[in-house]
């Protein structure tokens, strides 16, 4: 198990640990599942055309800390996983202020709606405060309604929208 971090707001028997190389396959599986929940059915059906490229970039970024990445896993005392958190830094798209950035947050389905996502989000916010950041930014897929509601309930506001047009509707 990685270095123990904080356990605030977590169910007894769970802790946030720094991810180590042995945790990378789990981290990547969390990225995959998050992406699949965030795209529409057509994109999901076509994901075999693009998802491996995205996952390879994610793995490389985590290992090389391209965005000052820090990765954490939520583990139960028996060593099984309950979730993950991938944090980094980014320049704000409007002000260029350096901000904390949630690159990924994931809670296993059987642990959802038990306050674990809220605890991981608080962990991310504290991580940012400790580094002197004034804000924390994230992206959430339009299709992922439960995640959008979750973030809104924690005070995260929509600041911009990304618009997309499919130029090849027959594909």
Residue 159: inside a domain: no
pLDDT for the residue 141: 83
pLDDT for the residue 8: 53
In the chain, the number of structural domains is 1
Residue 55: inside a domain: yes
Residue 169: inside a domain: no
Spans of the chain below 70 pLDDT: 1-9, 11, 44, 47, 67, 171
**Using CA atoms, how far apart are residues 122 and 8, in angstroms rounded to an integer?**
9
Residue 171: inside a domain: no
**Using CA atoms, how far apart are residues 13 and 15, in angstroms rounded to an integer?**
7
Predicted TM-score (pTM) of the model is 0.81
- Nearest by Cα to 36 from 137, 101, 106, 87: 106
pLDDT for the residue 1: 37
Distances (CA, A) of 77 to 2, 44, 51, 74, 170: 12, 34, 32, 10, 49
Residue 31: inside a domain: yes
Q: What's the CATH code of the domain at 38?
A: 3.40.630.30
pLDDT for the residue 67: 66
- Alpha helix (H) ranges present in 22-144? 24-38, 41-45, 51-64, 116-130
């Amino acid at each position: 198990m990685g270095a123990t971090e904080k356990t605030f707001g977590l169910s007894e028997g769970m802790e946030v640990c720094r991810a180590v190389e042995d945790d990378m396959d789990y981290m990547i599986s969390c990225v995959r599942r998050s992406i699949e929940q965030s795209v529409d059915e057509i994109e999901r059906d076509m994901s075999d055309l693009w998802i491996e490229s995205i996952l390879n970039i994610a793995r490389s970024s985590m290992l090389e800390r391209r965005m000052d990445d820090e990765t954490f896993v939520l583990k139960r005392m028996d060593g099984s996983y309950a979730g993950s958190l991938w944090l980094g830094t980014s320049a704000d798209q409007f002000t260029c202020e350096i901000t904390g950035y949630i690159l990924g947050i994931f809670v296993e389905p059987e642990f959802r709606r038990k306050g674990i996502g809220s605890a991981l989000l608080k962990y991310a916010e504290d991580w940012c405060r400790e580094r002197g950041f004034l804000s924390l930014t994230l992206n959430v897929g339009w299709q992922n309604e439960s995640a959008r509601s979750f973030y809104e309930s924690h005070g995260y506001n929509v600041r911009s929208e990304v618009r997309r047009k499919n130029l090849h509707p027959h594909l």
